[in-house]
Structure formats: C-alpha cells, structure tokens
Amino acid sequence: MRRRDLMTGLLTLAAARATAARADTPPLPVVASFSILADMVREVGGPGVAVTSLVPPDGDPHEYEPKPSDLRTLAAAGLLVVNGLGLEGRMTRLADSSGFRGPVCVASQGVKPRTMTEDGGATVTDPHAWQDPRNGALYARNIAAALAKADPARSDAYRAAGERYAAAILETDAWVAQQFAPIPQARRVIVTTHDAFGYFGARYGIRVLAAEGISTDAEPSAKGIARLVAQVKREHVRAVFLENMTDPRIARALAKEAGAAVGEPVYSDALSPPDGPAPTYLSIFRHNVPLFVAAMRG
Ligand SMILES: [Zn+2]
C-alpha cells in the first residue's frame, strides 16, 4: 500500500469513527413550551434532539397548567426553549420549581415587540411574534445557536440546519406576501376570536379585529362584542375566524350577530395534531392564508 493510500485510509477510518461516536451520543432532551416552538426545535435539531412540548397540539399556551409529569420532563432536559414576550407566565415558575438549572433559549430574542393598549388602558406586550415569518427566521437562528451551545458536538449540524430552515421560512414569507398582493387595502381585514394575528397583520398590511385581547384568559365584554359586531357589519366582513385552540362559541355568536359566516379554524398559537391540516409551523401559513384570502375576496 502506498503511503498516500494508507493516510487516506486512516483518515477515512478516523472520520467514520467520529461519525459513529456522534451517532451513538443520545439525542439532547429539549423541552419547548408549546407546539409551534417544538416543531421549530425539531426542524433545527433533526436527529440530534428529542423534543417534548409542554402544551400539546391544539392546546392553549395562555391557559397552561403544569402537570406533575412536566416537572420530571423538565428536570431531565438539557435545554428549555420558550417564546418570551410574556407568553409563559406559569411556565417560568414551573422551571424554578422543577429544579431545572439548564440553559434557557428565549426564541424571540431580538424581535421588535408590538405593544397594545387593552380595554382597561393597560399597555401589554403582544407575545405572538412567530406570526410574522421574518420573526420566525430569527427564532430558527436563536434556536440553532442555543442548540449549538448546549450540544457542541453537533454544533455544525445545528447551525447549518438553522440557516436552511430560516431560508425556508423566508420563502414562505414571500409566498404569503404574494397571496395578499392582489387584495385591495380596504378589503384586508380579518376578524378572529383572540388577538393573535397582530404581527401577521402588521407584516402584510392587514387590519386585525378580535373579540378578545392578546390572551385568552379574559372573556370579552358585552360592550366590546357590540362594538366589534358593528364594525364587522360596517366593513362588510364576510367571515369570522376562530383559532384552533380557542372557545368556538365566541366566534359563532359574533358571526351570528354580525351576519357573517364562521370560517374554518385557523392556527395561531398551536399546531394541529400530526394528521391535521397544520402539523408544522410553516403549514400554519399554508393553511391560514388561503382561508383569509377567500374571506377577503368574499
Ligand atoms: Zn394567543
């Protein structure tokens, strides 16, 4: 065997060993606060991670109640990924009481937050930043950086996957913008149960009207509903959308009062189960946008 061949052979062998070592390393246990983040972590982490979502698909992250099993899941985690912007109130306390001392990735870090004034006059931060895909791309990169730090052996793979995923998210953003482009400004209105589409509306020039505020924990007031009904009638809005994780009665009552149709459920704060219409972050946009466009066209 020539010296050069021997070297190549040894190097190949060493590379194969390194790959085997990486493949043998058990996946990093990652806990995500809700299903949309869990999907993002899976996209970026691939086979390197084992992801658990505290709030399951179709679950409401605003109404999260810790289960005893969540404490155990969190205690065994190598990384906790949260949204931030005030979405995870009770969850932060859960992380403290589980004894979790691991790294926490705030996926929305670097997002320009939207604030809004609630009925009582209080200024609150809108947590639904992922509804603007440009923020979603930032989430992907933040998650990739956190995974690379928590699991350095796979850092190159995480960073590469994070960049690929961010690019796919931005492609989706361009597609969404294209769908709304032919709709005249005056028709760009959507009505939903809770105010989860503020970032989405700001991104694509859509006015968003909602019965509830940015959380789902307060029932809408009779006065608020009456005002919204009047606005829906005045603007000839054709459909009222309910989110997959909110109480459908509000949208139904609103639509009935205003003489509008109840649209198919749209996905705001939670994915559908795997066999449903929006099992991934990107499929949320592919599902919601045609429904919004059809309602705007009337
Ligand atoms: Zn929400």
> What's the gap in Å between 125 CA and the centre of ligand 1?
12
Question: What beta strand segments (E) does the chain contain?
Answer: 28-34, 49-55, 79-82, 104-106, 114-117, 123-126, 189-194, 207-212, 239-241, 261-262
- Residue in the block written with tokens 């699991």: 151
What is the average pLDDT score of the chain? 90
Ligand 1: centre distance to CA 21 (Å): 42
Q: 24: CA distance to ligand 1 center in Å?
A: 39
**Quick one: CA dihedral 282, 216, 298, 178, positive or negative?**
negative
Distance from the CA of 214 to the center of ligand 1, in angstroms? 6
Q: Please name each of the domains of the chain with its CATH number.
A: 21-172 (3.40.50.1980), 177-297 (3.40.50.1980)
Cα 253 to Cα 193, 222, 262: the distances in Å are 11, 11, 9
- Give me the pLDDT at residue 286, please: 98
Find the 2 Cα to ligand 1 centroid distance in Å.
Answer: 66
With vertex at residue 281, the alpha carbon angle to CA 272 and CA 84, rounded to the nearest 5 degrees, is: 105
Cα(284)–Cα(210) distance, rounded to whole angstroms? 19
Residue 245's pLDDT band, with cuts at 50, 70 and 90, is confident
Residue 144 confidence (pLDDT): 98
User: How many H helices and E strands in the chain?
Assistant: 10, 10
| CA 189–ligand 1 middle distance (angstroms) | 19
> How many Å lie between the centroid of ligand 1 and the Cα of residue 150?
29
Residue with tokens 């968003």: 208
Residue 128, pLDDT above cutoff 60: yes
Q: How far is the CA of 209 from the centre of ligand 1 (A)?
A: 14
| The token pair that represents 234 in the structure block | 């005045």
The residue whose two tokens read 């809005």 is 237
Mean pLDDT of the region 110-129: 88
The Å distance, Cα 281 to ligand 1 centre, comes to 15
Query: Ligand 1 centroid vs 76 CA: distance in angstroms?
Result: 28
Q: What is the pTM of this model?
A: 0.89
Residue 1 binned pLDDT confidence (cut-offs 50, 70, 90): very low
| Stretch among 8-22, 23-37, 98-112, 173-187 having the lowest mean pLDDT | 8-22
The Å distance, Cα 169 to ligand 1 centre, comes to 21
Please indicate whether residue 25 or residue 112 has the higher confidence score (pLDDT).
112
Q: Is the pLDDT of residue 93 over 90?
A: no
**How far, in Å, from the CA of 249 to the mean position of ligand 1?**
17
How far away, in angstroms, is 265 Cα from ligand 1 center? 14
